[in-house]
């Protein structure tokens, strides 16, 4: 069996404690679409009354059912996917799941399957981890995707399962590729400490001048700004003052401004 690849996109943030579950992460609940096919409850799929890319599998890892995702076959093959979105109060230490795959090897490419987890604030994805598989897994195998602690301004989580090559438009990968998943669960978070949050104010925000004023109810020691990929783009040490004025040169976009254990979204116009 070829080696499994785990791609980790690191971020340097913090989280606080709260139990969290993936709704219908065990894939035991299914509902009829009104045609021949069923959908896993709470999950969004490409299924309709005529075609399906997500099916119920009775040869499960745990319980009665698992979920099998395959490419959608129409005029040409389209990558199949199923995803679930739900609210989140904390970032767990890892996402674990059981998986089986069949990966087609064509003349010019080897197909792929993926499980992707992302954490959101509103409509902005601040943090993503991804498991990519390029080798068939014949027996149920447990996989764990490590997750980093992130400041708890995240309010949403998305877990997506993809089958076949994620190309543009039609003709994406092989119809012989599929991925089955079961028992998607979060492990407990890395820390149970509640961080003391300050009353933090950023002005102006949105910002178009590059001059950012920050005030806090507790003395500040450090200001760090991250882009949406988790890259540090600015750092400034503060001599334990309750206010500071900074000149930042950043391109237009959304950033995460962290002051010690508190964080806010910073918009540069």
pLDDT in tens, 11-34: 323 333 334 789 999 999 999 876
Q: Are 269 and 206 in contact (CB under 8 A)?
A: yes
- Looking up tokens 């709470």 gives 42
> What average pLDDT does the segment 138-163 reach?
84
Supply φ then ψ for residue 46, to 5 degrees: -90, 5
What is the mean pLDDT of the segment spanning 236-243? 85
- What is the distance, to the nearest Å, from the Cα of residue 238 to the centroid of all Cα atoms in its chain? 33
To 5 degrees, how large is the angle CA 216–CA 217–CA 219?
70
Mean of all residue pLDDT scores within the chain = 80
β-strands 137-146, 44-45 pairing? unpaired
Q: Is the pLDDT of residue 266 over 50?
A: yes
Show the domains of the chain with their CATH numbers. Answer: 5-186 (2.60.120.890), 200-268 (2.60.40.1220)
Q: Are 225 and 258 in contact (CB under 8 A)?
A: yes
pTM of the model as a whole = 0.67
Burial-class residue 1 by CB neighbours within 10 Å (0-12, 13-18, 19+): exposed
| CA pair distance 267, 269, nearest whole angstrom | 6
CB atoms within 10 A of CB 242: 13
Q: Are 200 and 214 in contact (CB under 8 A)?
A: yes
């Amino acid at each position: 069996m070829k080696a499994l690849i785990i791609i980790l996109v690191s971020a340097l943030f913090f989280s606080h404690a709260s139990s969290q579950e993936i709704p219908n992460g065990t894939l035991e609940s299914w509902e009829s679409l009104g045609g021949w096919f069923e959908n896993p409850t709470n999950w969004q799929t490409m299924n309709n009354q005529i075609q399906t890319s997500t099916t119920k599998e009775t040869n499960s890892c745990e319980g009665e059912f698992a979920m099998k995702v395959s490419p959608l076959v129409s005029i040409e093959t389209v990558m199949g996917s199923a995803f679930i979105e739900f609210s989140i109060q904390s970032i767990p230490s890892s996402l674990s799941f059981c998986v089986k795959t069949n990966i087609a090897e064509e003349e010019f490419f080897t197909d792929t399957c993926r499980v992707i987890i992302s954490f959101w604030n509103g409509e902005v994805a601040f943090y993503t981890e991804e498991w990519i598989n390029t080798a068939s897994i014949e027996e149920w195998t447990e996989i764990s995707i490590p997750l980093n602690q992130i400041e708890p301004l995240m309010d949403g989580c998305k877990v997506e399962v993809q089958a076949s090559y994620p190309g543009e438009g039609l003709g994406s990968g092989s119809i012989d590729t599929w991925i089955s998943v079961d028992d998607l669960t979060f492990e407990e978070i890395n820390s149970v400490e509640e961080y003391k949050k300050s009353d933090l104010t950023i002005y102006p925000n949105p910002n178009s001048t590059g001059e950012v004023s920050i005030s806090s109810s507790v003395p500040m020691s450090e200001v760090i700004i991250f882009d949406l990929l988790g890259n540090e783009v600015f750092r400034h040490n503060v001599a334990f003052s309750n206010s500071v004025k900074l000149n930042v040169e950043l391109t237009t976009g959304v950033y995460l401004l962290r002051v010690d254990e508190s964080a806010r979204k910073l918009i540069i116009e």
